[in-house]
Structure 1
Amino acid sequence: MIEAVRIGFDPFLGWPVLWAVVAVAALAWLAYVFLRGRAWLTRGLALTLLAAALSNPNLVHEEREPLPSVAAVILDRSESMDIGDRADAARRAYDEVQARLAEDPSLEVRVLESDPNDDGSHLYSALEGLMADVPRDRIAGAILITDGQVHDVPDNPDAEGVIGPVHGLIVGDPDRGDRRVELVEAPSFGIVGETADLIVKVEDPDGGEIDLDVSVNGGIPERVRVTAGEPTPLPIKIERRGENIVVVEAPPGRQELTMANNRTAASLAGVRDRL
């Protein structure tokens, strides 16, 4: 609680009328001085005291209760948080941060869990919605508990109106690797009976050579050996006219976060050469 004492004024006649009276009295007093009237100083003091009395001065004793600052805690529940033990670690951190902030009486803590059905991690828009009714000068900051993949971060964090400061609490093992298959380039079509090159790259923290299984239209997979980290062309035979589905799959690596990215697919349109 903040206590303060000040002098306040509450004119009997209202401020516009009081200022008009003061202006008329001042002009009359100046005319009196100009005409060499007697006791002009005493009369001036008397008019000043009268104006002060009409302003109705009073002693004001104020007691103010400061409004708490507002802090936000947002938990990322996007699909990538289900990898490994990220969700459990994030939940524990979420509960711990809330408990710690609740110990500060000068803070109002607001919490929110993002929508797990969102396409990606849109935590900043969730933060804006959570703080929409809070004046900017009351915002203490925000803590985002996530795996580090936030898709709606403002382009200019220092721009006016951007909520901040924003702190990221990143969950997951930064030293843990993951094998994944990346489709670098795929032609949109190929001539039936001929081959088209599908370029893929396998990222693996251990490097070395990796055997890929490549199948076309659900047929028997063909084993192809590639070097990790290097784009590799895979000759694909276009078997038929129309859509040809090519699936490229890598076996589990020594380090894996998820098997979902060990597989990729492409669609190549088969066309006949009529020339």
Structure 2
Amino acid sequence: MTGTLLFDPLLGWPLVWMAAGLAVLATAIALWRGLSGWWLRALAGITLILALLNPSLQQEERAPLSDIVLLIVDRSASQRIADRPGQIAEAVETLRNRIEARPNTDLRLVEVGDGDGDEGTLLMSAVTQAMAEEPRARIAGILAITDGRIHDVDLAPDLPAPFHTILTGREGDWDRRLVVRNAPAFAILGEPVNLTVRIEDQGDAPEAGIVDLTIAVDSDPPATFQVPVGEDIQLPVTLPHGGRNVLQFSTPAADGELTDRNNVAVVSINGVRDRLRVLLVSGEPHPGERTWRNLLKSDSSVDLVHFTILRPPDKQDGVPVGELSLIAFPTRELFMDKIDEFDLIIFDRYKRRGILPGLYLDNIRSYVEQGGAVLVAAGPDFASADSLYRSSLGDIIPGRPTARVIEDGFIPTLTDAGERHPVTEGLTEGYEAGEEGDPGWGRWFRLVDVETMSGTAVMEGMDGRPLLILDRVGQGRVALLASDHAWLWSRGYEGGGPQLELLRRLAHWMMKEPELEEEAFIAETDGLEVTIRRRTMADTVEETTWEGAEGDPAVIDMEEVEPGLFEGRFTAPEIGLYRITDGIEDIVVALGPSAPREFEQTIATGDVLAPVTEEMRGGTMRLEEGVPTIRDVRAGRPASGRGWIGLTPRSAYRTADLTVFSLVPPWLLLLVSALFVVGAWLREGRR
């Protein structure tokens, strides 16, 4: 129990000060006039002022409160390497026992994991949060078991007690790290992009000269090179395909290094085409010719070269060649010298007229087999003896004409395969289906009767006859559109149809755009959540699994959400590289940055936390030297020494009861004051 003297004025403080001023003035006048009882008058004034101040005694009954010690344990990814988990477990158990054995002391254990995304170790944020939940006056010390590699030291709070850093790891630790710098988000196909790669050693590393560097793109076989350690290496990389390309760089783990988690770096680069070059050859003018031209010219990423044959060699009208305002068809330049520069060749109602010799057509076939694309938009001439099918191109064209041309109204429909194929799936959306189940499109009035020889028919005309056939030949692609009436849709005849979308998809599928592949994985990521879409022409998909750098493959539940489209989800345990496969197709997904922040620096150090530790004269200890003992130190004194750390006892308390009573009753003080006044009067009267 403690007592405190208090003053509880009976009047407001201004009135008390006014009364004190009057008492001083009265005493001064009495002294100036030479009154012998002036000192009695002064005592009367003092007693009166004391009565107004009402002196009281406050007595408190206090209940002592325990000191609080915050133990912050770093459980981030860099603390799960080597023997650090064992060090942490031993240190936590030992410190817990020692703190709990202290009288009047409580322990608060706070564990810190990895930050969201790639924020790293946010230890200071955890300290701030823990301090906000406890009375500041009771915190006797803060102990942090960590490797010292934290990433928010600039957010350190104002500390009320010593902060001690207890380091995991070993003095002789070393680690090797692979770094990829200046990796672009996009790169143009066919053009090399320079990446800067560096392999560096940290800590007490042995001398190393040359090490292996392995580079793999998606699921392609890797290539291995010999590179020096500690030097920037410029690597020109050419992307193999459009869309996302995942490049994985790795170097083998060395004996004695802390971890091989940072021996791998992953870079995701989107491959884009500089320009798509298309050659359009129209055999003769017709209403649908402008449809193809308008489609290709409307796409800013397409360079179009268009030739219409207006004067075939068999046309003789006597006009001198020098007076013709026509451009000669540069057949050799286009189909021999520069054919490889085109991504797609379209033959629009073209027939053999002696313009393209057999050698040129053979070269076109080789162009397709080596990765090119040819689209044949057939008209009546495709069924004639001059058909392109009667040339060497017949070996790669997927439909054989029966020599019959049907000129009757029909509504194009999708086949079962067309419902699944990315070129045609979903084309019926936005159109109201007809009474007989047709998609609600306008009619076409010409169909070249063909037999499917290879490939997949995705659209059909009357009586199930093939209308659009897609095929792969060698490394290239071929498509046959067995009608020249697609332009009716663009004119809005009988409501029109999805002519623009159909032809756009068709052209881009032939130019191997990744989003239009029939068999493909499509991955979308949101943090550690991965959504997998498997596009296939099959009715079912094989068991799909995902696998990280460590651990066994896990199965993904795939559900068919649309015809030919299956979807599944999984949550990755941590950032890194994951491979998803169903045994037929596979994809590599990179979650997070090319190198996680937690593994940029893995050697334990107290330098990062040194400003925080020194603020309250705390210390930095290594667990390999043993768990430090705990002592009491006074505030402001050094709080660490050889093998020990200090806590500052706070002597905090809680007031359990409070009593206040007057020391002297006011009436007694007034009586004493009156006696002093009477005494002064009697003394001065006798004199």
The correspondence for 1:185, drawn from 174, 182, 185, is 182
> Which letter does structure 2 place at the counterpart of 1:243?
R
Find the counterpart in structure 2 of residue 169 from structure 1. Answer: 166
Please give the per-residue CA displacement for 1:63-118, whole angstroms capped at 9, x wherever unaligned.
Answer: 76666554321111112221122122112212322333344446554321124564
Matched, 1:200 2:197: yes
Tell which deviates more after alignment, 140-149 or 101-110: 101-110
The 8 Å contact of residues 115 and 121 in structure 2, kept in 1 or not, is answered as: no
Find the counterpart in structure 1 of residue 152 from structure 2. Answer: 152
Distance 1:37 1:130, change over 3 A: same
- How far the C-alpha of 1:134 sits from its partner, in A, is 5.2
> Which letter does structure 2 place at the counterpart of 1:222?
A
Find the counterpart in structure 2 of residue 266 from structure 1. Answer: 267
Find the counterpart in structure 2 of residue 86 from structure 1. Answer: 84
- How far the C-alpha of 1:173 sits from its partner, in A, is 2.1
The 8 Å contact of residues 187 and 197 in structure 1, kept in 2 or not, is answered as: no
> Which letter does structure 2 place at the counterpart of 1:271?
R
- How far the C-alpha of 1:131 sits from its partner, in A, is 0.9
The 8 Å contact of residues 180 and 261 in structure 1, kept in 2 or not, is answered as: yes
Distance 2:182 2:173 in 1: 28
Q: What is the SS of the residue equivalent to 1:30?
A: helix
Distance 2:242 2:56 in 1: 95
Distance 1:50 1:232, change over 3 A: closer
The 8 Å contact of residues 216 and 245 in structure 1, kept in 2 or not, is answered as: yes
Distance 1:217 1:56 in 2: 88
Distance 2:94 2:59 in 1: 42
Larger RCO: 1 or 2 (CA < 8 Å, sep 6+): 2
Please give the per-residue CA displacement for 1:225-251, whole angstroms capped at 9, x wherever unaligned.
Answer: 111222223343432334333222222
Find the counterpart in structure 2 of residue 238 from structure 1. Answer: 239
Q: What is the SS of the residue equivalent to 1:37?
A: coil
- How far the C-alpha of 1:194 sits from its partner, in A, is 4.9
**Where does 1:25-40 land on structure 2 (aligned, <5 Å)?**
25-40=23-38
Find the counterpart in structure 2 of residue 223 from structure 1. Answer: 224
Unpaired stretches in structure 2, ≥5 consecutive residues:
278-340, 342-687
Distance 1:84 1:100 in 2: 26
Identity %: 33
- How far the C-alpha of 1:192 sits from its partner, in A, is 3.7
Distance 1:225 1:31, change over 3 A: same
Find the counterpart in structure 1 of residue 71 from structure 2. Answer: 73
The 8 Å contact of residues 214 and 249 in structure 1, kept in 2 or not, is answered as: yes
Distance 1:256 1:30 in 2: 90
The 8 Å contact of residues 76 and 113 in structure 1, kept in 2 or not, is answered as: yes
Distance 1:264 1:13 in 2: 79
> Which letter does structure 1 place at the counterpart of 2:260?
M
**Where does 1:55-70 land on structure 2 (aligned, <5 Å)?**
70=68
The correspondence for 1:95, drawn from 93, 96, 102, is 93
Please give the per-residue CA displacement for 1:185-238, whole angstroms capped at 9, x wherever unaligned.
Answer: 335555544544333122243412212222223211122111122222334343
Distance 1:55 1:179, change over 3 A: closer
The 8 Å contact of residues 215 and 247 in structure 1, kept in 2 or not, is answered as: yes
Find the counterpart in structure 1 of residue 128 from structure 2. Answer: 128
The 8 Å contact of residues 199 and 231 in structure 2, kept in 1 or not, is answered as: yes
Find the counterpart in structure 2 of residue 143 from structure 1. Answer: 143
- How far the C-alpha of 1:136 sits from its partner, in A, is 5.3
Q: What is the SS of the residue equivalent to 1:225?
A: strand
Distance 1:64 1:245, change over 3 A: closer
Tell which deviates more after alignment, 101-110 or 230-239: 101-110
The 8 Å contact of residues 239 and 270 in structure 1, kept in 2 or not, is answered as: no
The 8 Å contact of residues 248 and 265 in structure 2, kept in 1 or not, is answered as: yes
- Give the total of aligned pairs: 268
Q: What is the SS of the residue equivalent to 1:154?
A: helix
Distance 2:210 2:9 in 1: 94
Find the counterpart in structure 2 of residue 211 from structure 1. Answer: 212
Unpaired stretches in structure 1, ≥5 consecutive residues:
none
The 8 Å contact of residues 9 and 57 in structure 1, kept in 2 or not, is answered as: yes
Distance 1:133 1:223 in 2: 54
The 8 Å contact of residues 198 and 230 in structure 2, kept in 1 or not, is answered as: yes
Tell which deviates more after alignment, 109-118 or 225-234: 109-118
Q: CA RMSD in A?
A: 3.5
> Which letter does structure 2 place at the counterpart of 1:121?
T
- How far the C-alpha of 1:49 sits from its partner, in A, is 4.6
Distance 1:11 1:19, change over 3 A: farther
What TM-score does the superposition give when structure 1 sets the normalisation length? 0.77
Q: What is the SS of the residue equivalent to 1:199?
A: strand
Distance 1:49 1:251 in 2: 93
